[in-house]
């Protein structure tokens, strides 16, 4: 291999679209964390520090799909793929859950409050990063599923995932369960979900939220996906 060819391959790796996305995503996450740090210094309170933890949880499903994508052997091994897919399915709602942290805008005590425009930028930055991480993770998994089931219509994969995401957001926001409750408190979690499923007319508002958010997240995903292909 010539020196020129080796240099070109190095440049292709350094400036590849995937690395470029990861680089800018890292900058965006770093900016969000800086906003939290600046607010803590300004107010003397650790308000919104939990957003950093939420963003860490949002990164887990993205990390899972990155690992699977770089290990084709795991995709061929059904037991390993099913295990990682189920783990991913449990964790992926964490990425989109941060959208609901916008509920916290303006609910801080007046004596420790930062400017509302600042809190909006702060929470919105975390929501944006969580959304982008979630969309990238779903896109990675969609490609993986496409290799296993060639010709599968994207909606047959996408909407069920987004529906489960919306249900997971409701469970996390209103029932106050976390992903690890699947292991630490599975009976209570499954009992509450079964109650929702068996009494849909009692929980009309719940299912309205799940339907609304599932459509919203599906449209967000498809819009960004189509834009990325069109440009």
Residue numbers in the chain where pLDDT is lower than 50: 6-15, 111
> Residue 7 has what pLDDT?
44
Give which of 119, 23, 98 is closest to 53, Cα–Cα.
Answer: 98
Number of domains in the chain: 1
Domain of residue 153: give its range.
3-230
Q: Which residues of 54-75 are buried (b: 16+ CB within 10 A; e: fewer)?
A: bbebbbbbbebbbebbeeeebb
Q: What is the pTM of this model?
A: 0.86
* DSSP label of 101: G
Provide the pLDDT for residue 2. 54
Q: Are 88 and 61 in contact (CB under 8 A)?
A: yes
At residue 114, the pLDDT reads 85
pLDDT at 108: 61
Which pLDDT value is given to residue 70?
82
> What pLDDT is recorded for position 109?
57
């Amino acid at each position: 291999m010539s020196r020129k060819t080796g240099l070109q391959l190095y440049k292709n790796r350094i400036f590849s679209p995937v690395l470029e996305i990861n680089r800018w995503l890292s900058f965006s996450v770093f900016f969000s964390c800086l906003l939290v740090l600046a607010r803590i210094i300004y107010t003397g309170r650790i308000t919104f520090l939990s957003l950093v933890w939420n963003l860490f949880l949002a990164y887990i499903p993205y990390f899972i799909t990155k690992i699977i994508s770089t290990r084709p052997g795991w995709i061929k091994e059904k037991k390993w793929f099913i295990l990682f897919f189920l783990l991913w399915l449990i964790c992926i709602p964490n990425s989109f859950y941060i959208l609901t942290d916008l509920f916290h805008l303006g609910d801080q005590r007046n004596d420790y409050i930062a400017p509302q425009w600042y809190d909006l930028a702060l929470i919105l930055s975390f929501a944006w990063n969580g959304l982008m991480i979630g969309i990238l993770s779903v896109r990675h998994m969609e490609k993986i599923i496409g290799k296993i089931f060639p010709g599968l219509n994207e909606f047959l994969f996408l909407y069920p995932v987004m529906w489960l995401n919306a249900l997971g957001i409701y469970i996390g926001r209103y029932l106050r369960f976390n992903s690890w409750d699947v292991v630490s408190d599975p009976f209570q979690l499954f009992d509450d979900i079964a109650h929702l499923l068996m009494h849909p007319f009692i929980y009309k508002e719940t299912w309205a939220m799940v339907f609304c958010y599932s459509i919203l997240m599906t449209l967000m995903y498809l819009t960004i996906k189509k834009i990325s292909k069109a440009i």
